[in-house]
A = this chain, B = another copy of it.
Amino acid sequence: MSRVLVIGAGGVGVITALSLWLKRESDVSLVVRSDYDKVSEHGYTIESCDYGQLEGWRPHHIYRTVKEAAADANNKGYNYVVVTTKNIADGPADARVSSIIRPVLDQNKRLYGSQLTTHVLLVQNGINIEKEIWEEFPRDEYQYTVLSGIQLVGSTKVGTGRISQIGQDHLYCGAFDPQDGAAIQAANEFVRMYSNEGRNFAEFDPRVRYSRWKKLVYNAAINTATALVGLDVPRCLEFGVDRKSTEIEVFHPAMREIVAIAASEGIVIEEEFITMFTEITRNKVFKPSMCVDRDKSQLMELEVILGNPIRIARGNGVPTPTLSVLYNLLVLVQARLKEQKGLIKFDEKTARLVDE
Contact = CB atoms under 8 A, between A and B. Distances in A.
Contact of A239 (B228, B249, B327, B332): B332
Contacts of A327: 249
Contacts of A326: 325
B282 A332 contact: no
Contact of A229 (B231, B241, B249, B329): B329
Contact of A335 (B235, B332, B336): B235
A348 interface: yes
Nearest to A354: B238
Nearest to A325: B325
Interface in A217-269: 225, 228-231, 234-236, 238-241, 243, 245-246, 249-250
Interface of A: 225, 228-231, 234-236, 238-241, 243, 245-246, 249-250, 282-285, 321-322, 324-329, 331-333, 335-336, 339, 344, 346, 348, 350-353
A243 B344 CA distance: 13
Contact of A241 (B239, B249, B331): B331
A245 B331 contact: yes
A285 B353 CA distance: 12
A71 to B, nearest CB: 39
Contacts of A241: 328, 331
A239 B321 contact: no
Contact of A353 (B238, B333, B339): B238
Given A229-B329, A234-B352, A249-B328, A336 B239 contact: yes
Nearest to A250: B328
